[in-house]
Structure 1
Amino acid sequence: MGDPDRLGEPRLPGRELAVLETAALLAGSGWAAGLNLYLATLMLGIAGRLGWGDVPQVLTRTDVMIVAGVLFAIEFAVDKIPFLDNVWDAIHTFVRPIGAGALGAVVAGDASSIGAAAGAIVAGLLALDAHGAKATTRVVANTSPEPFSNIGLSLVEDAGVALLVALALANPTLALIVVGVLVVAAAALTMWLFRLARRNWRKVRRWFAGV
C-alpha cells in the first residue's frame, strides 16, 4: 500500500498495519462506490494492475475491468443529463449498496467468512450513505431555479471517487478520517436536501397546475 514513511503513515507492526490498510480500503471504496460503483471498481483494478496497493486479485481480472469500464462509460454520459440521472440514481439505489457490499466482501474476504460478511455490510451501508447524498443533490439540482450544473456535479463526484480510492491506498489513516467526516456530512446533507427537494417539487406541481 505504499511506503508508510514516505506517505506520513506511522510505523505499525505488520498485522496492525494490514488491518488498517484493509479497513481503509474497505471504507474508502465502499463510500466511493455509493457515488460511482463502476469507477470505484475500475480504479481498484487499475491500482492493482499497476502495483499501487494490495488489491484483491479478482478486481484486476480483465473481464471485470472491461465490464466496469463499459458501465462507467455509460454512467459518465447518463449522469450528466438532467432527470435521466434521477432515473439512473433510482435504479442504483439498490445496485450501488449491493455492489459495494460485494467489493467489501472481496476486500475483507481473506480473513474469514464472518469478516467477509461484516465487510459487505459495512461497505454497503457506507455506499448507501454516499448514494443518498448524491441522489438528493441531483433531485434538488433538477428542480431548483438556481443554476446548478449536472455536468459540474458529475465531474466533481467522479474526481472525488478517484481521489478517495487513491487516498485509501496511499494513506489509510487519513482515508479513514476523511470517510468518517464524509459519512456525517453526507447524512446531514441528505436530510437537508430531502426537505428542500420536497419544497421544490411542490412549487413545480403548483406551477403546472396553474398552466
Structure 2
Amino acid sequence: MDAPASLGIVEILGIAASASLLAGWRLYLVVLGTGLAMRSGIVPLPDHLESLQVLANPWVLGIAGLGAAAEFFADKVPWLDSAWDTAHTLVRPIGGALLALAIVDPGDPALQVIAFLAGGGGALLAHGGKAGARAAINTSPEPVSNVAMSTAEDVATVGLLWFVYEYPWAAVGVAVVLTAIAIGLTLALRRLLRKVFGRREIET
C-alpha cells in the first residue's frame, strides 16, 4: 500500500493519542512494533511522520525488543507484574508523551506542547487503568486469569497499533475507545476499593 501524501490534523492527533494510550499498556511493544513495521515497509508513513524513523534504528529496536521480551514474561507472573507496573509508573507516561511529540507537526510549537502534555496524560491514564485492573486480578490464586488478560493486552496492542497506522481516519475512534476503557477500569477499581475498605470498617 502507498502511504498518503499528507494527513489531516484530526488524523494526526488521533494517531498521537492512540499511540500514547497504547504506550500506557505496552510501551516497549509499541516502540518495537512501530520500528519493525517502518523498517520492513509494512507501515509506510507519510513524510510528515518521518521523524518516527528513529524508532527503526537498530539500537532502538534492540533495546525495545529486550524491554518487550522482559515485559512479556514479567506480565505473566502476578507478583512480578505488579512490581513491573509500579516501576513503570513514570516511564510509560514519559514514553507516551515523547511518542506524541514525535508524531505532531514540529513546525507548530503550541501543538507540540499540547501533544506532549496530552500524550503523557493519556499514557498515565491508560497505565493507571491497566495497572489497577491487573493488581486486582493478581490477587486471584489461580494463574489463568492473569495470563489470559496479559495475552489479550499483547494482542490488542499489536492489532490496534497496526490498525491506526493502516487506517489513520479511524485513529480518533480508537483513541476514544481506549480512553473509555481506561476510565472504566479506573472507576471499577475505585468502586472495588471502596467496597473492600467499607467491609473492613464494618468488621472493625
TM-score by length of 2: 0.84
> Structure 1 pair 146/66, CA: closer, same or farther in 2 (3 Å)?
closer
1:148-189: CA deviations, max 9, x gaps? Answer: 621111111011111111111111222211210221232022
Within 5 A, what are the aligned runs for 1:113-152?
113-144=109-140, 149-152=145-148
Correspondence for 1:46 among 24, 31, 36: 36
Runs of at least 4 residues off by over 4 Å: 1-4, 144-148, 197-204
Distance (whole Å) between structure 2 residues aligned to residue 172 and residue 65 of structure 1: 24
Q: CA deviation at 1:200?
A: 5.0
> Structure 1 pair 198/53, CA: closer, same or farther in 2 (3 Å)?
farther
> Structure 1 pair 24/70, CA: closer, same or farther in 2 (3 Å)?
same
How many residues align structurally?
A: 198
Would the aligned equivalents of 1:31 and 1:130 in 2 still touch at CA under 8 Å? yes
Distance (whole Å) between structure 1 residues aligned to residue 197 and residue 65 of structure 2: 35
Within 5 A, what are the aligned runs for 1:56-67?
56-67=52-63
TM-score by length of 1: 0.81
- Structure 1 residues without counterparts, runs of 5 or longer: 5-13, 205-211
1:180 paired with 2:176, answer: yes
Percent sequence identity over aligned pairs = 37
- Structure 2 residues without counterparts, runs of 5 or longer: none
Correspondence for 2:159 among 163, 176, 181: 163
More displaced 10-residue stretch of structure 1: 52-61 or 137-146:
137-146
Would the aligned equivalents of 2:22 and 2:30 in 1 still touch at CA under 8 Å? yes
Within 5 A, what are the aligned runs for 1:92-107?
92-107=88-103
Within 5 A, what are the aligned runs for 1:26-41?
26-41=16-31
1:8-42: CA deviations, max 9, x gaps? Answer: xxxxxx65x34344223212211110000000011
Q: CA deviation at 1:123?
A: 1.4
> Which position in structure 2 is the counterpart of 1:74?
70
